[in-house]
Amino acid sequence: MILIHTPAPREVAAYLDLFRTALPQHVFTDLEGLSRPEDVEYVITWGPPPGLFVGMSRLKGVFNLGAGVDRLLQRDDLAAEVPIYRLLDGGMAQQMVEYVRYGVLGYQRHMDIYRRQQTAGVWKMLPPRLPAAVRVGVLGLGEIGGQVARALAADGYRVQGWSRSAHTLPGILCHHGPTGLDTVLNESDVLVCVLPSTPQTRGLLDATRLARLPPGAMVINAGRGDLLDLDALQGLLESGHLRAAQLDVFPEEPLPPAHPLWRHPAVTITPHVAAITLRQEAVEQISANLRRLAEGSEPLGKVARTQGY
């Protein structure tokens, strides 16, 4: 039996329909229809609540309905030997490219400054800045970050990348390790963060590292909220060291209504929408993986738990 669970019942219903059509030989259920957790062989889920996996003694695998698996790791209800599979791209990279491109283009064309001038009724031209004069640093060069870096380089920006392990991307100077990170931070007019949340990346963008960014830089975070110290970011925006931020992810989601960043004129906030799982694509990827398992072959997207992605 395969359990489908996400926080939105309407979404679960839609997934049940799609999976039942795609794989009629399997039995799919939602949480309400499940009477014996020990019958569950696979779980397809996004944001599983604490305790969801309790009693699933025959669980053979968990399919994450998204790219980031941080909410599936370090839980006491999921045995370490149960494999976790994440979605690979599935249309998410292109959405992420668009989200980041919007921010970088807006920065290059001074749109954030013009928006503030508009509020004050100020008509003032700023000198044009070409893409080649904007240095962009992309943190995270995996499935998604790699495509973001390549797209920005194709747009003419000066792109450098950084990732945990060494990567090679044509036309992009790729760094890794602590010194590499400092170089990228020192030389990024726009810092783009699309890293996953892992023990190594949590708190990575702390006050010291953020202060390395050149004066007038912008920060785009579309990875995970716990990578970035929000108070430090706010301090650097208020001191005028940083010019703008575009934030899609937060340590606490939703971002609490009283949080001062909601009302900060230099900050654009979006509700974790930079790259949303496309339902049909997710069903295709997970169905293909369930077929692979039935044939005895290895599914794609297996998470290396120690790495956290």
Q: Are 58 and 19 in contact (CB under 8 A)?
A: no
Q: State the Cα–Cα distance between residues 88 and 66, nearest whole angstrom.
A: 8
- Residue 130: CB minimum distance to ligand GLV, A: 32
Query: Among residues 68 and 137, whose Cβ is nearest to ligand GLV?
Result: 68
Of 230, 222, 273, which is closest to residue 251 (Cα–Cα)?
A: 230
Q: Is 285 in the site for ligand GLV (CB under 6 A)?
A: no
Of 150, 136, 55, 32, which is closest to residue 97 (Cα–Cα)?
A: 150
Q: State the Cα–Cα distance between residues 281 and 67, nearest whole angstrom.
A: 12
When binding is defined by CB under 6 A, the residue of 61, 68, 145, 225 that contacts ligand GLV is 68
Position with the least CB separation from ligand GLV: 66
Q: State the Cα–Cα distance between residues 146 and 151, nearest whole angstrom.
A: 9
CB atoms within 10 A of CB 67: 23
Query: Among residues 90 and 106, whose Cβ is nearest to ligand GLV?
Result: 90
Query: Among residues 66 and 137, whose Cβ is nearest to ligand GLV?
Result: 66
Q: Is 192 in the site for ligand GLV (CB under 6 A)?
A: no
Point out the catalytic residue in the list 272, 279, 291, 305: 272
When binding is defined by CB under 6 A, the residue of 61, 66, 106, 225 that contacts ligand GLV is 66
Residue 224 known to be catalytic: yes
Q: Among 66-74, 93-101, 124-132, 231-239, which window interacts with ligand GLV (CB under 6 A)?
A: 66-74
Q: Is 78 in the site for ligand GLV (CB under 6 A)?
A: no
Q: Is 72 in the site for ligand GLV (CB under 6 A)?
A: no
Q: State the Cα–Cα distance between residues 303 and 138, nearest whole angstrom.
A: 22
- What is the x/- site pattern for ligand GLV, positions 262-281, by CB under 6 A? ---------------x----
Query: Among residues 108 and 198, whose Cβ is nearest to ligand GLV?
Result: 198
- Residue 66: CB minimum distance to ligand GLV, A: 3
CB atoms within 10 A of CB 301: 21
Q: State the Cα–Cα distance between residues 4 and 12, nearest whole angstrom.
A: 6
Residue 259 known to be catalytic: no
Q: State the Cα–Cα distance between residues 59 and 38, nearest whole angstrom.
A: 8
Point out the catalytic residue in the list 167, 175, 209, 224: 224
- Residue 276: CB minimum distance to ligand GLV, A: 7
Q: What is the DSSP letter of 226?
A: G
- Residue 90: CB minimum distance to ligand GLV, A: 9
**Structure token digits, residue 36:** 């014996």
Q: Is 142 in the site for ligand GLV (CB under 6 A)?
A: no
Residue 108 CB contacts under 8 Å (≥ 6 apart), including other chains: 129, 130, 131, 134, 157
When binding is defined by CB under 6 A, the residue of 4, 67, 152, 184 that contacts ligand GLV is 67
Q: State the Cα–Cα distance between residues 168 and 258, nearest whole angstrom.
A: 43
- Residue 183 CA, chain-centre distance (Å), reads 23
Contacts to ligand GLV by CB under 6 A = 66-68, 277
Q: List, by residue number, the catalytic residues.
A: 224, 272
